[in-house]
Amino acid sequence: MVSISKFLTVVLTAVLWSPVSLSDAGTDFLKDNAGKPGVVTTKSGLQYRIIEEGTGLKPGATDLVRVHYHGTLIDGKVFDSSIDRGQPARFALSQVIKGWTEGLQTMKEGGKTVFYIPPYMAYGSNATGAIPANATLIFEVELLNVYPLNIPKTFEEVRAYRISDMDCGKPPVLPEDAKELGSIRAQADRYGSCVRDYYQLVTAELQGLLGLAGSEGAMRDAVLDSFSRGREELSSELAVALPFLQEYQQFRNASDQ
């Protein structure tokens, strides 16, 4: 199984965006697949087939998304699947392989698409986990949610940048006895999920902001100042949530024993 952390490795994907030679099997597969009904081939070489059209938001190249996916090699071998794990994945489109960054921008919330990704838009000549070198990858993806990011672009926007407030409400009151956790467990889980979504959204925005740090002069200073302020604001927003989640996890561990 390929871990999400490996799948979302920014450094690796950036290195592998340059085309590499395809395996003969992958080349033959993509050539044959291009002529099948419903298959679209983009200028980059990415192929996709829409299973179900979505009706919601369409993500941008830096937006955060929540998806279910099932990944296989061209021989049908499964190498990773959020569906099998029963846990959707969340990530920013700027943090994944190029095939995903381009492909998910063709989708809308609620849609389901199969992507056929050539090696140079995936992991190239690098083998990773159950994915061999120069592998053509097939992903069936359902786009569950799009979370647009508030990433400033101009000098004025950078200087004025503030993270959004966390709108998760107050955490529930934990019982004195861990054995009584069941009465608030569902509420606590919803709260924890909201906090995690908020944290991931803000950190993705801050990463996008930090991407402007390569600028010079006043712009660079403004980016670094806003990034530092944003981290402090995030710590303040999580000041109540994190201690609660840590204590809640301890209660869960005790109640599950």
Active site residues: 69, 79-80, 97, 123, 139
Residue 215 vs residues 39, 117, 218, 242: alpha-carbon distances, Å: 41, 33, 9, 34
The three-class DSSP label of residue 38 is coil
CB 101 within 8 A of CB 182: no
Say how far apart CA 189 and CA 28 lie, in whole Å: 47
Which residues have C-beta within 8 Å of that of residue 59, sequence separation ≥ 6? 65, 93, 104, 105, 107, 143, 146, 148
Distances (CA, A) of 205 to 54, 84, 158: 25, 30, 12
Q: Which two structure tokens, joined as six digits, stand for 103?
A: 């492909």
Q: Between helices 185-210 and 217-237, what is the axis angle to 10°? A: 170
CB 242 within 8 A of CB 175: no
Assign 84 to helix, strand or coil.
helix
Question: Strands 112-117 and 137-147: what pairing?
Answer: antiparallel
d(CA 65, CA 225): 27
Alpha helices for 131-240 (secondary structure H) = 155-160, 185-210, 217-237
